[in-house]
């Protein structure tokens, strides 16, 4: 089934609920990477230029279903206003009296930011009735729904999944661009196709390793992802992060060997006694991480090996930093992989909230890559071939739009 886009919607003079993913990294109230806000601008400006009245909604962090000022979207509304060149007013709640009053007062071309969706337990509830009740409230604020929060399309949440069942809907330009780019990793893939995986949410990402064996030609494994594999090979990983299950990693190694896919592990590791950045770092063989040390970055040999391997790829997907890049002394591996992608003629996709933030922090421009995805979990689940609730909900609805 096809997905309507906002180009197919008659939006003039209509009130639109725009579900964006504005879950940006914050340091207190300072936005450390505004990539997700910039990514929603094409859709937002198109709707406003076409005289729609737009209510922007998003989640931010995990406030746990109740209002918490630490997770207010106010800094996001301020940044959105800077990018738009005019202030973006903010409702004090999501579906309460403030939101209703402000929504009713919107004129064509006006924009309003609603407060954090996750201040309401209904947003993420697993109970269809509770979630549906919140979706009813959200839907009552608008006449049309536009889904553009690609980073949350893998979530069966009220604003992602249930509201589009209640309103005529379409996909925004970000979702369109993201799905178009990711499709190039699932159909008619140019080979060799190499995947680089790292990061810290290893257990979450394990399912995609299984489904990529058999699809990718080589899988390069760094960051926190490396340790369960090293442990599966019988090596001591010291105090390193061990998030994924070594038994599962062993099964992946066997599966890869059977299907002729190469899993490339880092031969060396930069280690220290703690991840605070004050303990002195040293480079050791990955097969000899001393007790009392933790691997915090892939080592220089690994960076060289990964770069050389990636140099012959024609398609590259990368998710997960190679080390604790937030500290400059552990950013070299991540920088080397970013540089390898930037130098490559391959079609390159960088996915993952922290990975995208990492390449920007390290000074790479988005246009150094084929595509920088705003979605970590969403892009991985897309590659796994899982049905994504937020995309399914945006498919054509028999012309009610």
In angstroms, what is the minimal distance from the CB of 378 to Mg ion? 12
Q: Closest CB to ligand ADP belongs to which residue?
A: 352
In angstroms, what is the minimal distance from the CB of 47 to ligand ADP? 28
Residue closer to Mg ion by CB (options 238, 353) is: 353
How many angstroms separate the CA atoms of 127 and 122, rounded? 8
Q: How many residues can be counted in the chain? A: 401
Number of H helices, E strands in the chain: 14, 16
The option from Mg ion, ligand ADP, none interacting with 355 (CB < 5 to 8 A, set by class) reads: ligand ADP
Residue closer to ligand ADP by CB (options 123, 332) is: 332
Residue closer to Mg ion by CB (options 317, 347) is: 317
The option from ligand ADP, Mg ion, none interacting with 321 (CB < 5 to 8 A, set by class) reads: ligand ADP
In angstroms, what is the minimal distance from the CB of 262 to ligand ADP? 21
Closest by CA to 147, choosing from 43, 286, 279, 261, is 43
In angstroms, what is the minimal distance from the CB of 85 to ligand ADP? 30
Three-state SS for 236-268 is CCCCCCCCCCHHHHHHHHHHHHHHCCEEECCCE
According to DSSP, the β-strands at 15-19 and 144-147 are parallel
CB contact at 8 A, 197 and 320: yes
The option from ligand ADP, Mg ion, none interacting with 320 (CB < 5 to 8 A, set by class) reads: ligand ADP
The option from Mg ion, ligand ADP, none interacting with 143 (CB < 5 to 8 A, set by class) reads: none
Residue closer to ligand ADP by CB (options 224, 389) is: 224
CB contact at 8 A, 22 and 40: yes
In angstroms, what is the minimal distance from the CB of 148 to ligand ADP? 20
In angstroms, what is the minimal distance from the CB of 281 to Mg ion? 23
Closest by CA to 121, choosing from 56, 58, 60, 64, is 64
Residue closer to ligand ADP by CB (options 132, 244) is: 244
Using CB under 5 A as the criterion, which residues of the chain lie in contact with Mg ion when the complex forms?
A: 353-354
Using CB under 6 A as the criterion, which residues of the chain lie in contact with ligand ADP when the complex forms?
A: 198-201, 223-224, 241, 295-296, 319-321, 323-324, 326, 352-355, 376
In angstroms, what is the minimal distance from the CB of 326 to Mg ion? 11
Residue closer to ligand ADP by CB (options 114, 305) is: 305
Residue closer to ligand ADP by CB (options 75, 352) is: 352
Locate 158 and state its tokens: 């009220």
CB contact at 8 A, 343 and 364: no
The string of DSSP codes covering 292-361 is T-EEEEE-HHHHHHHHHHHTT-SEEEEES-SB-TTSGGG-HHHHHHHHHHHH--SEEEEESHHHHHHHHH
């Amino acid at each position: 089934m096809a997905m309507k886009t906002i180009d197919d919607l008659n939006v003039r003079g209509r009130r639109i609920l725009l579900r964006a993913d504005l879950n940006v990294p914050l340091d207190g109230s300072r936005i450390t990477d505004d990539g997700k806000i910039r990514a929603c601008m094409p859709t937002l400006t198109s709707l406003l230029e076409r005289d729609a009245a737009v209510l922007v909604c998003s989640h931010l962090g995990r406030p746990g279903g109740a209002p918490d000022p630490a997770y207010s979207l106010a800094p996001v509304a301020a940044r959105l206003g800077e990018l738009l060149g005019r202030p973006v007013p903010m409702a004090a709640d999501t579906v309460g009296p403030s939101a209703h009053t402000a929504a009713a007062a919107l004129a064509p071309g006006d924009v309003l930011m609603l407060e954090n969706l996750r201040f309401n337990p209904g947003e993420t509830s697993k109970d269809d009735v509770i979630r549906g009740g919140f979706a009813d409230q959200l839907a009552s604020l608008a006449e049309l729904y536009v889904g553009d929060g690609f980073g949350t399309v893998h979530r069966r949440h009220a604003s992602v999944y249930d509201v589009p069942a209640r309103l005529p809907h379409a996909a925004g330009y970000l979702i369109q661009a993201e799905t178009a780019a990711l499709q190039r990793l699932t159909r008619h893939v140019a080979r060799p196709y190499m995947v680089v995986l790292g990061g810290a949410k290893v257990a979450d990402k394990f399912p995609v390793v299984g489904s990529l064996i058999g699809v990718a030609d080589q899988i390069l494994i760094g960051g926190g992802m490396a340790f369960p594999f090293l442990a599966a090979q019988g090596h001591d990983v010291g105090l390193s992060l061990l998030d994924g299950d070594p038994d599962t990693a062993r099964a992946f190694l066997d599966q890869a060997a059977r299907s002729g896919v190469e899993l490339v592990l880092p031969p060396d590791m930069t280690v220290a006694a703690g991840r605070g950045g004050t303990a002195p770092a040293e480079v050791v063989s990955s097969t000899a991480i001393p007790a009392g040390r933790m691997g915090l970055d892939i080592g220089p040999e690994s960076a060289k090996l990964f770069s050389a391997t990636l140099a012959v790829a024609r398609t590259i997907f990368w998710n997960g930093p190679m080390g604790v890049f937030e500290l400059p002394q552990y950013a070299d591996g991540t920088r080397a992989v970013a540089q390898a992608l930037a130098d490559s003629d391959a079609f390159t996709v960088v996915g993952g909230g922290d990975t995208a933030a990492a390449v920007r922090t390290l000074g790479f421009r988005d246009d150094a890559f084929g595509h920088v995805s705003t979605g970590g979990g969403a892009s991985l689940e897309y590659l796994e071939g899982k049905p994504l609730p937020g995309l399914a909900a945006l498919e054509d609805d028999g012309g009610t739009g």
